Amino acid sequence: MKRYLKSFVTAIVVMISVFACRESNDGNANPVLTPGEKDETGFLAVNSPAEGAIYYTGDVLTIKWQSYGPVKGVNIFLFKKTELRATIVENIENYGIYIWQIPEGTRDSHHYLIKVVNSENRDEFKFSESFSIFDSTAIKTAQ
């Protein structure tokens, strides 16, 4: 019964966020590079998180990318649509993987993107596919 309740609550949370987060971009996007700007250089590819993946605050998200060329270090950012929401990490060595714990207080949305940027050349970057983050306390309260 608990398993069905958890699935039901998850479905409700997803449905609410789909309809509730239909916000518009008011032009305040961070000029650092937005999801509309696509890197055509082919230096980076973001493999994880996967499109449509669902995470909850407190979860560990494994960010994976590949670089094709001389990329020594990267910066990683969290975007919600075109708005920079958080700097996850800057100037880390390019190992192709970073483990990030999603902080409590991250707002519900299915419009999140990860941006991986060559720390030595801001023009070399890629965005992940969109994924969702939801408040884990809503699930815990329903159990």
For the chain, helix (H) and strand (E) counts, in that order, are 2, 9
Q: What is the mean pLDDT of residues 110-129?
A: 94
Q: What is the pLDDT of residues 49-62, one digit of tens each?
A: 999 999 999 999 99
pLDDT in the model for residue 136: 85
Q: Residue 19 pLDDT > 70, yes or no?
A: no
The CATH number assigned to the domain with range 2-142 reads 2.60.40.10
Give the whole-angstrom CA distance, residue 103 versus residue 143: 21
Kindly report whether the global pTM for this prediction surpasses the value 0.75.
Answer: no
Match 């890197």 to its residue by tokens.
Answer: 39
